[in-house]
A and B are shown apart, each in its own frame.
Chain A
């Protein structure tokens, strides 16, 4: 009798206590388990799923504080369709997102390849390369605002010393303002992605390269035929994460250009924020958010799908 009970405790992990008498205990047991989950899950679900439902609700309402929402049907949606500024903000966001993604990932890959070579002090370099990733968007943007300052910025000083007589006023030029936003975004992005790429590169088995060398492959060949395919999964991961992050950019824009000049750097989330909180059209802001939602959802879903497939 005694040995039997012992073994049931040791082996049947999922229901350590035999049936019947313990049925009441089992529910007490479950209740205990739910208490572990309850605080985190209730908070998380309340502030993740309820807002989505609320978003749908608000999008059919005019909501101007301090009044309560009033139902207006599809008015917000028809307003959205003819809202040229919104479409411009979407376009700006796309330019920024793809620009900073390509530039940032390309730079990160190049630097990771460099770091992947054996040389003394590479650890030192690696540690410092990550610095921009731990400082905020606001601080990064402030530093570059100062560097690109028209009158006193060190960038214009460099440019005049190499003979460019009158450098432009970067952030007041619609084209250059966007270029600088992309530059600052990719600067942070590259810093963040270098260690991830490096981990990928270090994970490529040395034997692949050795085998290729025996077959007479040169460095370039090895890079295209072995390195690039091996780090493809990680690159896709970084790409998707970069799209998700960049699409929601606000802080860099707020500090550097505030959406100007002439809305040329007004990005989608900034426009949503403006409509909702500066112009007090909270309902319309919800409609805009809801409209963008499927796109970002798709990208994120794709990300989870891709990363679970490589398991």
Chain B
């Protein structure tokens, strides 16, 4: 019996480790390649571990390529979009959860309906819209931060999720605050927001992730290299340098690291988010 258990354990650990190699191995291979000399990259049989570490690969992509600008653009775009979504969506969610006004349910249904609009198919008409925005010159918001950020900043999902969370906070708190002379905005700002940090964090993380990893919309809006975001720049960089694999992998590593840091430091929040997505619809 004990022996059988032991064999069981061995099988479990073996399988779990094979899966681990399947999911993490490619990233280690990316990292290893990014530190190789051109000679190591061309070596056959492939060298798993670089003979010596060439950190200057990172210096090379950081100077004289489009990647640093694109990296900064992504930081700007993702940060502003996250701030906008957290602030405006929570304001709206507050009203939907805790205030009474005519048309509230209709508007909220509209918000839910926006979640059914497939983003990939909206690229063409959105492009035509932002190109023809009045008073913004011949190409509108094309090739601008406004174009990259504003059309996709607010998500129906954020409003939906925050409303659900706000509904779970006891309503007596609002009434109490109202008696104390708080305005609605003060109730929102001083009572609801501080109590909703986990939900706000969740929205912030997933908005940032979504914008950092966005490809199609940024590809459509960013026309000049100056406005490329990191994913677009990487895809271009790869076609331009398709022999220098160490540089390409250094670029990929640089773009992957911010999300990985965020993920590992805020891991519990990520988990909660997925649980919320998976089962939150259920309960």
A-side interface residues toward B, CB under 8 Å?
9-10, 13-16, 29-30, 32-34, 36-37, 39-41, 43-45, 47-52, 54-55, 58, 63, 65-66, 111, 114-115, 117, 119, 122, 125, 127-132, 134-140, 142-147, 149, 152, 154, 157, 161, 187, 191-192, 195-196, 199-200, 203, 233-234, 237-238, 244, 247-248, 250-251, 254-255, 269, 272-273, 276-277, 282, 285-286, 289-290, 292-293, 296-297, 300-301, 304, 307-308, 310-311
Lowest 8 CB-CB distances: which A-B pairs, in order? A248-B120, A196-B278, A36-B95, A136-B213, A307-B281, A51-B125, A40-B92, A33-B101
A36 and B125 contact, CB distance less than 8 A:
no
Number of A-B contacts defined by CB within 8 Å:
292
Min CB distance, B183 to chain A, in Å?
A: 8
Task: Write the chain B residue with the least CB distance to A244.
Answer: B118
Q: A33-B101, A43-B154, A47-B152 are in contact. Are A296 and B260 (CB under 8 A)?
A: no
What is the bound-complex CA distance between A36 and B118, given in angstroms?
A: 26
Contacting residues, chain B, for A269 (C-beta < 8 A): 120-121, 123, 216
For residue B115, CB closer than 8 A to chain A, the reply is: yes
Min CB distance, B218 to chain A, in Å?
A: 10
Contacting residues, chain A, for B267 (C-beta < 8 A): 127
B126 and A47 contact, CB distance less than 8 A:
yes
B154 and A251 contact, CB distance less than 8 A:
no
B20 and A125 contact, CB distance less than 8 A:
yes
| Overall SS of chain A's interface | helix
Task: Write the chain A residue with the least CB distance to B116.
Answer: A300
For residue B49, CB closer than 8 A to chain A, the reply is: no
Given contacts A16-B178, A187-B22, A237-B281, 16 further A-B contacts (CB under 8 A): A29-B101, A30-B102, A36-B99, A39-B88, A39-B92, A41-B107, A44-B156, A51-B122, A54-B129, A251-B231, A255-B235, A255-B238, A269-B120, A286-B128, A293-B118, A304-B116
Q: When the two chains form the complex, which single residue of A144, A149, A237, A244 contacts B278, counting CB atoms closer than 8 Å?
A: A237
Q: When the two chains form the complex, which single residue of B20, B94, B113, B263 contacts A36, counting CB atoms closer than 8 Å?
A: B94
Q: When the two chains form the complex, which single residue of B13, B24, B101, B112 contacts A304, counting CB atoms closer than 8 Å?
A: B112
Task: Write the chain B residue with the least CB distance to A43.
Answer: B154
B121 and A36 contact, CB distance less than 8 A:
no
Min CB distance, B68 to chain A, in Å?
A: 17
What is the bound-complex CA distance between A15 and B99, given in angstroms?
A: 10
What is the bound-complex CA distance between A157 and B43, given in angstroms?
A: 11
A145 and B238 contact, CB distance less than 8 A:
yes
Contacting residues, chain A, for B96 (C-beta < 8 A): 37
For residue B199, CB closer than 8 A to chain A, the reply is: no
Q: When the two chains form the complex, which single residue of A50, A152, A254 contacts B41, counting CB atoms closer than 8 Å?
A: A152
Interface residues of B in 81-130 (CB under 8 A from A): 88-89, 91-92, 94-96, 99-102, 104, 107, 110-129
Chain B interface size range: 35 or more
Q: List 5 A-B contacts (CB under 8 A).
A: A33-B101, A36-B95, A137-B215, A152-B41, A289-B125
Quick one: CB contact mask for B130-159 with A, threshold 8 Å, 1 for yes?
A: 010000001000000000001111111001
B184 and A119 contact, CB distance less than 8 A:
no
What is the bound-complex CA distance between A286 and B283, given in angstroms?
A: 38
B282 and A233 contact, CB distance less than 8 A:
yes
B-side interface residues toward A, CB under 8 Å?
9, 12-13, 15-16, 19-20, 22-24, 26-27, 29-30, 33, 41-42, 44-46, 88-89, 91-92, 94-96, 99-102, 104, 107, 110-129, 131, 138, 150-156, 159, 171, 175, 178-179, 184, 188, 209, 212-213, 215-216, 219-220, 231, 234-235, 238, 245, 248-249, 252, 255-256, 259-260, 262-264, 267, 270-271, 274-275, 277-279, 281-283
What is the bound-complex CA distance between A51 and B282, given in angstroms?
A: 31
Q: A51-B126, A147-B26, A248-B118 are in contact. Are A139 and B19 (CB under 8 A)?
A: no
Task: Write the chain B residue with the least CB distance to A119.
Answer: B12
B255 and A136 contact, CB distance less than 8 A:
yes
Contacting residues, chain B, for A10 (C-beta < 8 A): 175
Q: When the two chains form the complex, which single residue of A135, A192, A203 contacts B260, counting CB atoms closer than 8 Å?
A: A135
Most buried by B among A49, A63, A195: A195
Min CB distance, A303 to chain B, in Å?
A: 8
Min CB distance, A192 to chain B, in Å?
A: 8
A277 and B220 contact, CB distance less than 8 A:
yes
Q: When the two chains form the complex, which single residue of A65, A128, A250 contacts B23, counting CB atoms closer than 8 Å?
A: A128
What is the bound-complex CA distance between A285 and B231, given in angstroms?
A: 23
